[in-house]
Structures are given as structure tokens and as C-alpha cells.
Amino acid sequence: MEVKALEENGFSVFQVTGEINISTSPELRKAFEKQSSKKVVVDLEKVTYIDSSGLATLVEMLKKTKAQGGSLGLAGMTDKVKSLFEITKLDKLFSIYSSRAQALTQV
């Protein structure tokens, strides 16, 4: 997995590539701890797989962002990844956007 942390239009954007799993989710958590914006977008367009530890990491990121008075959106999920969020009902918890561009205007 690769995580690129970017600042874009006042947002902290995390562009994730590869699999978010028990081995790689600590890397995503570490990148998130360095962010400074209250508006966060996690770009999942290039994510091929997420396991339960990856989901837990995203939930943790959402809770921390909300506790600081911010907002977090997920963008660009593949159908496979999106179906996992639907099955686990996490699509009700997260704001999910079809693209990063859409998320940057609505988060």
C-alpha cells in the first residue's frame, strides 16, 4: 500500500493505492496523525482491497476528525470496495463521494 498525503484547497487529502489490510493499515493511521486540516478526503480510487482492520482504521480516522469538529469523506471507491461498505452498513456512517473532485466540493 502507498499513501500520499496532500493539501488541496484547504483539505487534507490521502490518496491511497493498493490494499488496506492488517499489515498496511498502521501506515495509513500514521499518515493521518500528521494531517492538520479539519476537512479530510480519503481517495480510495486505487484501493483494490480493504479488510476489517482497514475498515477499523477508517472508522477511527472518522471519529478523530469529528471529535476535532471536522469532517471526513471517502471518494472514488471501486464497486468491490463500495459493496464492502454497503454489506457492513458503513455506507450509513461515512460520507461517500463518486470522485475526489466531488468530495472536495461537498465535505
What's the rounded mean pLDDT across residues 50-57? 96
Residue 107 lies in a domain: no
pLDDT at 4 over 90: yes
What is the average pLDDT score of the chain? 95
Query: Phi then psi for 93, rounded to 5 degrees?
Result: -90, -40
> pLDDT tens for residues 7-46?
998 899 999 999 999 999 999 999 999 887 899 999 999 9
46 within a domain of the structure (yes/no): yes
Domain count, the chain: 1
How many CB atoms within 10 Å of residue 54? Answer: 24
Domain assignment present for residue 47? The answer is: yes
CATH number of the domain to which 49 belongs: 3.30.750.24
Q: Helix crossing, 25-33 with 52-67: angle to 10°?
A: 10
Looking at the chain, the whole-number percentage of residues with pLDDT higher than 90 is: 93
pTM, two decimals, is 0.94
